[in-house]
Every structure is written in structure tokens, then in C-alpha cells.
Amino acid sequence: MADHYDVVTLGETMLRLTPPQMRRLEQATNLDIEVGGSESNTAVGLARLGLKVSWLSRLTKNGLGLLIDNALKGYGVDTSRVCWTDQDRVGLYFLEEGLAPRGSAVVYDRANSALSRMQPDDLPADLFQPGASRVLHITGITPAVSQSAAQTTLKALGLAKQAGWAVSFDLNYRARLWSPEQARVGCEPFARTADLLIAPLRDARLIYSLSGTTPPEQVLGFLQQHFPQATVVLTMGKDGAMGQAPRGELIRQPVFPAAEVGRIGGGDAFAAGLLYGFLAGNDHKEFAPGLLALALRWGAAVAALKYSTPGDMPVISHAEAARLVASESNTSSSGVSR
């Protein structure tokens, strides 16, 4: 019989190539490698917290694809259902780290990746059994990558719903991949059926044509009105997060103060903590309103730990996050215990 997962996720993972020491790409003589992808970042976070996670994707069978597979397996994610191909390529992105006024710059090089050519039939359909997982977690990036990726994500959604799994969807808008209008249409089927809808404030404003000064509470209200079935969580960067379950109260969660060592992947880490909060405190698939406050707190804790860790993935421990979640205040000291 099949394995039982807490979370199944689907998405693209790329290699991030970064010149060391804030050098520009054109000055680089070598590049540091990190493995990163929104869904696999979340998967690593969940695995580190102790849950069982399966990551679905499509990878080219070469050294670069193996590197991604090794890294995710190493951090405890089940990759045994990844679809391997000899075709296509592994997506890359080059990150030029910079501070103001230069700023960081990204050169994406992800076109024609293996995931962008993933077909609905590449999904391990037999996995989508009732009880085989509690949650399917997807983001708005995957349907934006290509038409076939969108169809594949849609099929995964359908299979998960059919199997009775809960669905978590993170809007995660990528302006380099599609326009806000395309995103609104493309995300519609996911947002409309998600049990948990995670929306970065800026993305929500952009996608739903809300003014850049619309108050967060109003954005949250807008989302609840349109997607009444979902527990909606709005992430607001340094202003923390807020969420509301259907017919529940609005709950606010400030950030835990954190040094910024690795900026990228904070939202994915938040999603991992959030899902963990719901799943670790609940044996059933429903997102009971009573767990939202706890889930938001786990989300904030894992995100803060991620910010102080290099790389894209939240390579954190359950003990660290639990300590933060249990802390009385949202502040912490940084002494070395010896």
C-alpha cells in the first residue's frame, strides 16, 4: 500500500547561482550554488519540522538535476515520485546581491525547463488516494511557468480534491512570468477551491487591481468575499501577517525580529510554519479556526529563523522554532551558550 504523507507539493526547483562577496555577475570568477524553489523550500521546512512531505516535479537527468534531488533528499523531502527526463534543462537563476542604491538583481534563466514541459500525465496519479496525504500545497508560480505546467497543476488540484485532501494555495505572483490580469485568471481555480489561501499583500493588491494603499484589512476582506470557502492569510513583510478563517475572527501576528542573512525564501518558510501549525495540532484535514493563531505564530517563527540562515531553504530545527513559538515576547537574544 501507498506511503502516507502530511503534505504533497508540486513545483519547480532551480539552481541559484550567486557571485560571492556582493560582486557583480560580470566580475564573477566563481558562483556559489544554492537550491531553491518556492514549493520545495516549503517542503524542506515541513520536513525539518518533522512532517512527511513528497515533492512532485520534473527534472532533467544530469548533474544539475541530481544536485537538486540530492539536496532535497538530504534535507528529508521524499523525491521518489519526481518525473525524470533526458530532455529539456534545469532552470537557473543568477542572483547578484547588492545593497541600496545598487540593489540586488536577478537574471532568470528558467525558460524551457523540465518543469515547464511537465504534462498532466507526468503526475503519479496513483498517489492521489484518499488518505495518502492530508494536504496538497501549490503556489501561483507553477501555473505561470507554462501552459502545460498550468494544466498539470490543475490536474493535481482535481485529483487532490477528489481524494479529499485539503488544498493550500499561495498566490506568489511573479511579474516576470505573467501579467496581473493573467495571474488573476490563472489563479482563479486554485483560489476558488483552496482550504488555505496565502496571499502576500503586494501580490494581492496587484492581481486584484486594488490600489497600492488599500489597507490590509480591506484586502483581506476582499479575498474572503471572493473566496469564502478559504481560511485567508495575508503576509505583510515587516508588518507581520494576519488571517481569518471562514466565520472566524481576524488574527494578527507580528514578525519575530530577525537579522537578515538570507532574504530569499522567507515567504516559503512562513508557509511551512503555517502548515505545520495547522497539521501538528490537528489530526483531521480541516483547518479548524482554533488553530489559526497557533499556525500564524509557527509561520512567523519559521520565517524569522529563515531570515537568519543563508540559502533559500529553511534549514532550521523543530527545537529552534518551538523555542521561538513558546517565547513570551517576540524578541530574542543572540548570546553564545557555553
Q: Which of 170, 195, 203, 268 is catalytic?
A: 268
Confirm if 250 and 217 have CB atoms less than 8 A apart: yes
Backbone angles phi, psi at 270, to 5 degrees: -60, -45
Pick from 195, 83, 183: nearest CA to 140 = 183
> Which residue lies nearer to its own copies by CB, 62 or 209?
62
Pairing type for strands 53-56 and 14-18 reads unpaired
Q: What CA–CA distance (Å, rounded) separates 13 from 37?
A: 4
Q: 3-state DSSP call for residue 246? A: coil
In the annotation, is 122 catalytic? no
Q: How far is the CB of 284 from its own copies (least distance, A)?
A: 25
Closer residue to its own copies in complex, CB, 67/154? 67
Taking the complex as a whole, the smallest distance from the CB of residue 123 to its own copies amounts, in Å, to 23
Q: What are the residues facing 170 on neighbouring strands? A: 139, 198
- Name the minimum Å distance from CB 170 to its own copies: 15
Q: Which three cell numbers stand for residue 320?
A: 529552534
Q: How far apart are CA 9 and CA 78, in angstroms?
A: 10
21: number of CA atoms within 13 Å, CB side?
Answer: 4
Among residues 73 and 226, whose Cβ is nearest to its own copies? 73
Alpha-carbon distance of 151 to 132, in angstroms, equals 22
Q: Of 125 and 259, which CB lies nearer to its own copies in the complex structure?
A: 259
Q: How far is the CB of 68 from its own copies (least distance, A)?
A: 9
Determine the 3-state secondary structure of 141 from DSSP. Answer: coil
Beta-carbon contacts of residue 21 (< 8 Å; ≥ 6 apart): none
Tell me whether residue 227 or residue 256 sits nearer to its own copies (CB atom).
256
* Shortest distance in whole angstroms from residue 116 CB to its own copies: 12
* Rounded distance between C-alpha atoms, residue 329 and residue 300, angstroms: 13
The CA dihedral of 50, 54, 57, 59, to the nearest 10 degrees, is 80
Nearest distance in Å: CB 282, its own copies: 24
| Residue 245 or 305 with smaller CB distance to its own copies | 305
> What is the set of active-site residues?
268
